[in-house]
Amino acid sequence: MARLFRFLEKKRGRRRTGSNLAGSVGEAVFCGTLFLLGVLALTALVAAQVVRYDAQSLAIGVGWWLVFLVLSSFVVIGGVGLIRTALRVSASAERRGAMARQASELDIVREATPRPKNYPTVPSYDGLTNSPGIELAYRLPPSSTPGWRLLATTLFTLAWNGVACVLAVWTVQGHLAGQPDWFLTAFLVPFLAFGVWSVRYLLLQIWLHNGMGLTTVEISDCPLVPGRNYQVAIAQHGHITVKSLELWLVCEEEATYRQGTDIRTEVRRVYEERLWSHRDFRIEPSEPFQATAPMPIPATAMHSFHSAHNSVNWKLVVRGEVANWPAFERGFSIVVYPGEATLRVEVSANVARSALRPQLSVTSTPTGASA
């Protein structure tokens, strides 16, 4: 019986214990049922209103619109799921990829934006060139905006401590009334402790955000091409005594994968080079620190790459150690295009790259995508 019907399936990468066809049929049945249920119920709901018009039930805040929205979502989710399943079963991965490429080529906005042609998977650099610099051509936007992190921390701290206050009042009232709830009291202690830690963390974030001062990075050209030399300018604002300030050119690989029901991202730094560093100096609010450094991009560097689950990201990283402050690191993304040395294949490179080539593979799948 267990061989005929498995309650639990296992998946390792592309391999799975269950049948792909059975999975697709199950998905199609689920989506089809949802779609059919939604269409029938929605038709009945609207028809009832057409046959016997009731203005009162259509008023905002009454359940009719909520039911309408829920049933509409059934139709949309079921319909989209059905189309996706049908496409997956009826077309090979290459055919779906070709259809997706044709659809992306119809992007009118992309066509209207001038950029080097025939560089698929190299990310767009539109967001890097829309802010002119003071010293050099372009001012780079920071990779991550501290404002969002600060907002999320603030909301979490407010919510956590709000609940903590309600529980604290409840517990104290019980004690004053002579009916103490010791379980709640014991639970409240770590709850309050975490609340205090979250307030401390929030204050530290506000302190870092407002007191450290702005870091700006500018570059002389964009996009960057390996084998060429560029200039980079850094400016650090604030009222701080700096122990060390460094500027690094960094390349990272980023991979997103599923582990169970979680989606995880792993980042691996594969290249870093210190472009510039300076030690023991003071920055005044009236006079921000400024410096310029050469930025050579390695001739054989891999270009920036971006696909759905994998990417190669280049960025400039500013690392600082400041007296009486925690160390900080701020990143600024850049886009590197393929360079001459990597676009052209030399004869000797054929031998060097032979290890990269896997063996020829022929596979046969009895229940693959149908024609």
Partner 1 sequence: MSDRPSDSVDPLLSICLAGAKQSFSAGDELVCEYQIDAIDPADIQAVEVSVVWYTEGKGEEDMGVHYFERRLPSDAEDGDLRPMRRLRTRLPNSPLSYAGAILTIRWCIRLRVFMRRRGDSVMEYPFTLGAVPLRVPAVA
Q: In whole angstroms, what is the distance from residue 155 CA to residue 161 CA?
A: 10
Please tell me whether residue 19 binds partner 1 under the rule CB under 8 A. Answer: no
Look at the block and give the residue holding tokens 């031998």.
351
Look at the block and give the residue holding tokens 């996706």.
84
Please tell me whether residue 353 binds partner 1 under the rule CB under 8 A. Answer: yes
Please tell me whether residue 142 binds partner 1 under the rule CB under 8 A. Answer: no
Q: Quick one: which of 121, 130, 173, 210 contacts partner 1 (CB under 8 A)?
A: 121
Per-residue x/- track, 213-252, partner 1 (CB under 8 A): --------------------------------------x-
Q: Quick one: which of 80, 83, 87, 93 contacts partner 1 (CB under 8 A)?
A: 93
- The two structure tokens encoding residue 181: 């709830």
Per-residue x/- track, 305-344, partner 1 (CB under 8 A): x-xxxx-x------------------------xx--xxxx
Amino acid identity of residue 255, one-letter, is A
Whole-number CA gyration radius for the chain: 29
Q: Quick one: which of 18, 26, 97, 132 contacts partner 1 (CB under 8 A)?
A: 97
Alpha-carbon distances, residue 183 vs 174, 188, 308 (angstroms): 12, 9, 48
Q: Which stretch binds partner 1 (CB under 8 A): 35-43, 114-122, 148-156, 215-223?
A: 114-122
Please tell me whether residue 68 binds partner 1 under the rule CB under 8 A. Answer: no
Please tell me whether residue 368 binds partner 1 under the rule CB under 8 A. Answer: yes
H or E segment and range at residue 334: strand 328-334
Please tell me whether residue 345 binds partner 1 under the rule CB under 8 A. Answer: yes
Please tell me whether residue 356 binds partner 1 under the rule CB under 8 A. Answer: yes
Which residues make Cβ contacts (< 8 Å) with residue 304, sequence separation at least 6? 122, 123, 311, 312, 313, 314, 334, 335, 336, 337
- The two structure tokens encoding residue 216: 């700006």
Q: In whole angstroms, what is the distance from residue 39 CA to residue 30 CA?
A: 14
User: Sign of the CA dihedral 44, 50, 51, 53?
Assistant: positive
Among candidate residues 136, 292, 137, 140, the one with its CA nearest the CA of residue 214: 140
Residue 256 beta carbon to partner 1: minimum distance, rounded to whole angstroms: 5
Residue 309 beta carbon to partner 1: minimum distance, rounded to whole angstroms: 4
Strand segments (E) across 94-160: 138-139
- Residue numbers of the site for partner 1 (CB under 8 A)? 14, 92-95, 97-98, 100-101, 116, 118-122, 251, 253-258, 266, 268-274, 298, 300-303, 305, 307-310, 312, 337-338, 341-346, 349-350, 352-353, 355-358, 360-371
